[in-house]
Amino acid sequence: MELKYSAESEVRGDDGITRVTVENPSRSLAFGVHLMLKTVGRDEEEVREEADIVPVIWDDNYFPLMPGEKRTVTATYKAADAGKKAPAVQVEGWNVK
């Protein structure tokens, strides 16, 4: 099954904040939904490999989504760890493509 998701990021002081909205449009339970933030490949001054941003404080993670359910989850991290661009979001799950 595939989940739909969107993300919005902002910087507040030294913190980066990303809100991810995940939706399960299928007729099946999405189990163990896991969200990750990754750096974006190229900054203006440097080339950087895509990498996980750690540490990240999520207000929820590894959660189930019922059919038709939508959930917004917030992540907080050091803005400098993401580089100059908003982070990319990766969504995984036990039965999610």
pLDDT (0 to 100) of residue 65: 98
Q: Which CATH code is given to the segment(s) 4-92?
A: 2.60.40.10
DSSP state of 41: S
φ/ψ of 26, rounded to 5, equals -85, 180
pTM reported for the whole predicted model: 0.89
Q: Is the distance from CB of 89 to CB of 7 less than 8 angstroms?
A: yes
49 versus 30: which is more confidently predicted? Answer: 30
φ/ψ of 93, rounded to 5, equals -175, 165
Give the number of other Cβ atoms within 10 Å of residue 25's Cβ: 14
Q: Is the distance from CB of 76 to CB of 15 less than 8 angstroms?
A: yes
Q: Mean of the per-residue pLDDT values for the chain?
A: 92
- For the chain, give every domain's residue range: 4-92
